[in-house]
Each structure stands twice: as structure tokens, then as C-alpha cells.
């Protein structure tokens, strides 16, 4: 079945590129490129041969562009993968582009040195998230770095109930999303372990003001912004986690 492509918010591209002006967006998006670049440098020796780097859920290339900028000593053949054809059409960063569902990547086994994937899992149901993790592990020759956002383990149920009330679009229509599931860290950990994927959690932190992410991305007016805050009251934060998946030998 073809997946619905949602409205992502009129300021989304700027925010994804790390140019969000409010603190929560600096933390959610503005620090990822440096974090990813640091991990890549740590784990990948510079080489005269280009590495293959795939960005899964690449959107318009905002994150990939930032990362490449921070790694001038490397040469990469880059692949942007997304299910959103329009976004990929506007992606001028990736040297090649693949429109496909990450649950079934049209990339060969071990054909990619490094995968990067930020904030993709949550826009899929849990069964599909497991498939995506399996696919990422299948295509990597070296490692994947994955950044996720979701609830903390302690308040996961309430957190998800509140975000459902925001994303069902009843109170803030432009926010309507479906087919999402925000997994907690322990769920992700559990999936990776069950899939027998060698992995490590690189970072975990709570970022306050989740409503702020949407207020800036969707240019919510005052009334909508107040509603978003009200709906997320008590769980207006997110738990950001970064993972490394190591290729099987």
C-alpha cells in the first residue's frame, strides 16, 4: 500500500538544516551534524577511495549537507533515500537518489559503508520500524548512526497519549499525522537485540519544550501554539537517543 506523504511544516527545511532559532530546535536538530560527523571521524579513516554514505529518510538533504561540510577531508558517494518523491526531487546534496520505502531498501547487501538516519523510525508503525532496522543492518559494510526521538521509558504511555492528541489534527489541523509510533529507548534497544544487531547507545538526553519544535516548524499562531502546549502538558519534552549499529562480519 502506498504511504501517505504528510505536510511537514512550512519552516521544516530551515529547522532540519540546524537553523532553528529556538533552543529546543537547536538541541533537536542543530547539534546532530556535529555529533554525526564526530562519530564518523572517530570510526572511519580518511581514504583516497570514496566511501558510500547513505542518508535514509534524507528529505531535502539538510542534514547530509551539514555533515559533508564538516568532513572536508573525506570523499563520499552519497545516496539519498526517501519515500517522499517531492522532497527527494529538491535534494541537491545527495549524488544519487533512491525513492523507496526504508522497510524494503533497494540497495544490495553490504553496499553502503555508512548509513545515517535521523528521526525516521517514528513515522512508521512498530512492525515497520523493526523492518527498517533490519534493512539498515543488511546494507551496511561498516556502521550506521541513528538518531531517534520519543518518550522516556517512565512516562511512555502518557507521553504517547498526549502526542496522539496533538497529531490527530482535531485541535491543530495542520499537525495531522498518521502511521507514527514514538518508541522509547528500551523498545529500540529490545528490537536491536532481538534482531541480533551489534549496537551501542551513544547518547541519551531529555530535551525540554517539544511543543516548541512544532510551533517553529509549522509557524503555529498564538492560539495554535497555546493549544499545542496544553495538549502536551506534563510531557512537553522528548527523549533524544543516538545509536550506532555495527555491520555483521
Ligand X SMILES: C[S@@+](CC[C@H](N)C(=O)[O-])C[C@H]1O[C@@H](n2cnc3c(N)ncnc32)[C@H](O)[C@@H]1O
Chain positions contacting ligand X, by CB under 6 A: 16, 57, 59, 62-63, 82-84, 87, 101-103, 118-120, 123-124
Minimum gap (Å) between residue 45 Cβ and ligand X:
26
Q: Please identify, using beta-carbon distances, which residue of 181 and 230 lies nearer to ligand X.
A: 181
Q: Please identify, using beta-carbon distances, which residue of 118 and 199 lies nearer to ligand X.
A: 118
Q: Please identify, using beta-carbon distances, which residue of 7 and 230 lies nearer to ligand X.
A: 7
CA distance 108 to 140: 9
Angle at 159 between CA 145 and CA 156, to 5 degrees: 65
Minimum gap (Å) between residue 225 Cβ and ligand X:
20
Beta bridge partners of 204: 241
Q: Please identify, using beta-carbon distances, which residue of 120 and 140 lies nearer to ligand X.
A: 120
Minimum gap (Å) between residue 43 Cβ and ligand X:
20
The count of other CB atoms within 10 Å of the CB of residue 161 is 13
Minimum gap (Å) between residue 16 Cβ and ligand X:
4
- Which position's Cβ is nearest ligand X? 57
Contact 141, 111 (CB under 8 A): yes
**Strand order through the sheet with 76-82:** 96-99, 76-82, 51-56, 112-118, 140-150, 237-246, 198-208
Amino acid at each position: 500500500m502506498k504511504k501517505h506523504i504528510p505536510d511537514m511544516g512550512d519552516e521544516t527545511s530551515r529547522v532540519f538544516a540546524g537553523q532553528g532559532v529556538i533552543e529546543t530546535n537547536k538541541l533537536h536538530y542543530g547539534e546532530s551534524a556535529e555529533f554525526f560527523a564526530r562519530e564518523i571521524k572517530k570510526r572511519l579513516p580518511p581514504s583516497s577511495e570514496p566511501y558510500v554514505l547513505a542518508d535514509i529518510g534524507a528529505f531535502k538533504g539538510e542534514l547530509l549537507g551539514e555533515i559533508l561540510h564538516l568532513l572536508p577531508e573525506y570523499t563520499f558517494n552519497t545516496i539519498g533515500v526517501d519515500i517522499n518523491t517531492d522532497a527527494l526531487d529538491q535534494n541537491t546534496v545527495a549524488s544519487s537518489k533512491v525513492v523507496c520505502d526504508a522497510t524494503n531498501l533497494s540497495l544490495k547487501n553490504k553496499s553502503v559503508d555508512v548509513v545515517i538516519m535521523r528521526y525516521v523510525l517514528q513515522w512508521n508503525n512498530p512492525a515497520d520500524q523493526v523492518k527498517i532496522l533490519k534493512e539498515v543492518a543488511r546494507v551496511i559494510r561498516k556502521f550506521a548512526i541513528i538518531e531517534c526521538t520519543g518518550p522516556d521509558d517512565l512516562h511512555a504511555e502518557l507521553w504517547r497519549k498526549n502526542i496522539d492528541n496533538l497529531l490527530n489534527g482535531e485541535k491543530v489541523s495542520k499537525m495531522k499525522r498518521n502511521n507514527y509510533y514514538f518508541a522509547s529507548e528500551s523498545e529500540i534497544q529490545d528490537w536491536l537485540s532481538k534482531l541480533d544487531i551489534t549496537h551501542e547507545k551513544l547518547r541519551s538526553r531529555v530535551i525540554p519544550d517539544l511543543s516548541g519544535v512544532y510551533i517553529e516548524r509549522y509557524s503555529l499562531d498564538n492560539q495554535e501554539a497555546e493549544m499545542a502546549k496544553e495538549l502536551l502538558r506534563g510531557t512537553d519534552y522528548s527523549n533524544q537517543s543516538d545509536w550506532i549499529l555495527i555491520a555483521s562480519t
